[in-house]
Amino acid sequence: MNQPRSTPRVVAVRTPSKHYDILIGHGLLGSAPSWQGLPRCTHAVLVSNPTVFALHGEQALASMRAMAPRTSQVLLPDGEAYKDWSNLNTVFDHLLREGCDRKAMLFALGGGVVGDMAGFAAACYMRGVPFVQLPTTLLAQVDSSVGGKTAINHPLGKNMIGAFQQPERVLCDLATLATLPPRELRAGLAEVIKYAPIADPALMDWLEAHLDALLAGDAEALAHAVQRSCEIKADVVGSDERESGRRAILNFGHTFGHAIEAGLGYGQWLHGEAVGCGMVIAATLSADLGLITRAFAERVARLVQRAGLPVEAPALGLDRWFELMAVDKKAEAGDTRYVLIDAPGSATLRAVPRTLVEAAIRRHTVAPRAGAALPA
């Protein structure tokens, strides 16, 4: 494995509501300079889950103790199925029991679920307290920790209840990726792949050339993938913080992916697995509409498949598909709108006739049992 850089890479996020930096490097959780410049706080609260805390919690707490007179931690159950009101209240219960005031600061140590829960809690507690993202999964480092979208799930729709709350900083410690199970690493690659067809054709070429290195956990390849992903997301978020226009393109594959997650039951497929499959359906739909060539759609599908992600969806039933997609946040006036590729490196958002969407779903559907079976 390549020797990691000692100096972190920095990606600046500049939105109307907040300016902050994403730091990318090895050993950032225990590096004092990475924590300097954060707002002073009376109480630093670590939000994590038992799995991640056992691996990285004490290192994070040691750095937090150096910046706050009081520290504590609250651990949430591990998994998408627990991203709900009940477990969000666990965070609020802790903050209230500990007597946390408006100068408290939350630190989200974990993947997308922990980041969303801690961020939403920070947005709500006393009408807003600061928080810091400490993402420990590839998916969180390249996507969910950046941009300030926080939410919990509802049985009728994923991420439908939430708030925009930008973090004070994002610390992407690449050393934490070495502890990821292979399935989690593959799921994270879906969000890296997402950026290529919608924003950066050169990234598509790079991913095709370096995918084996990414799957093997190569330090330099992962650092580049995280940095380029964050650069693209920072650019998009900076121009459209609250998803009123351009930012919606970052949901490429997510309308279909969220339907898979909700239709199977949260936690059956990982978010990245569902998004990978959703991207394949969306690329096929883009080709069916004549926006891109069939060859480019197949190129997207090959990259998803090479990453070890599913390219065939479970048979939810067409009516169930459309029921679930109708509550997608991009729906307007009853019309579901889909993020489509309109040229390599460019995306558009539009409503599509149901018959064409049905055809694309059918083309990538297998029996429920086969579709739900994924490698551990």
Q: Catalytic residues, which ones?
A: 127, 149, 191, 233, 243, 247, 251, 254, 258, 271
CA–CA distance, 156 with 69 (Å, rounded to integer): 42
Q: Residues with Cβ < 8 Å from 140, sequence gap 6 or more? A: 110, 111, 112, 115, 133, 188
Q: Residues with Cβ < 8 Å from 267, sequence gap 6 or more? A: 79, 80, 81
Q: How many residues does the chain have?
A: 376
CA–CA distance, 96 with 98 (Å, rounded to integer): 5
CA–CA distance, 348 with 337 (Å, rounded to integer): 10
Q: Residues with Cβ < 8 Å from 4, sequence gap 6 or more? A: 25, 26, 174, 175, 219, 220, 223
CA–CA distance, 170 with 143 (Å, rounded to integer): 11
CA–CA distance, 28 with 63 (Å, rounded to integer): 10
CB neighbourhood size of 32 (10 A):
10
Token pair 């950026």 is found at 195
340: tokens are 């489509």
DSSP class of 43: E
Question: Are the C-beta atoms of 197 and 247 separated by less than 8 Å?
Answer: no
CA–CA distance, 223 with 299 (Å, rounded to integer): 24
Question: Are the C-beta atoms of 35 and 68 separated by less than 8 Å?
Answer: no
DSSP class of 143: I
CA–CA distance, 160 with 154 (Å, rounded to integer): 7
174: tokens are 């690449």
Checking 296-301 for CB contacts under 8 A at 24+ apart, the result is 296/197, 296/341, 296/344, 297/341, 299/204, 300/193, 300/197, 300/341
Q: Residues with Cβ < 8 Å from 357, sequence gap 6 or more? A: 285, 322, 338
